[in-house]
Amino acid sequence: MLADSRFPWYHSDMQRIEITHPFPPFYRPDSHILILGSFPSVKSREQLFFYGHPQNRFWRVMAAVFEDSVPATVPEKRAFLARSRVALWDSIGRCTIEGSSDSSIRDVVPNDLSVILSAAPIAAIFCNGKQSFDCYRRYIYPVLLRDASVLPSTSPANAAWSVERLTEAWRVIRTV
């Protein structure tokens, strides 16, 4: 079956699937910043770690914000986060998704952030993009009653924002 306007969700190379977040959060007992994505991309799910797609600008932006080198491997990314005292997870714990498309996300079940918040002195929560923030505001905030700030998405789909512009916006995390 080929893509058809009667079935806009269907593509011959992708299908909408229900998936549970395939890897745990990253945090340490001294993490003081929590950054939440929406849900891992196909590449991140393959690597079993955050922001695995090479076109996602997350690691370049974070390296610029913290004036550090851009980590390439998962162990380098873990070490970078530990040095920067940053915890990572996603707002969504389970959903129906097509490929890596945030706009295709349906049937959301949020992640339980208490595992991080009870183990680390998180001073501020930031959401990487509108999808993560909308999920946080709708499902997580009513339980936690704890504010989060939205930052512009580092996704390549947010092409209007250059790495330089993203870096300037993301510098706010250094003020925590």
CATH number, position 84: 3.40.470.10
Confirm whether 3 is domain-assigned. no
Confirm whether 76 is domain-assigned. yes
Question: Count of domains in the chain?
Answer: 1
pLDDT tens string for the chain (176 positions)?
334 444 333 344 467 788 889 899 999 999 999 999 988 888 888 899 999 999 999 999 999 999 999 999 999 999 999 999 999 999 989 888 776 666 677 788 999 999 999 999 999 999 999 999 999 999 999 999 999 999 999 999 899 999 999 999 999 999 88
Confirm whether 4 is domain-assigned. no
Confirm whether 6 is domain-assigned. no
Burial (Cβ within 10 Å: 0-12, 13-18, ≥19) of residue 90: buried
Confirm whether 80 is domain-assigned. yes
* pTM for this predicted structure: 0.88
For residue 125, what are the domain limits? 16-175
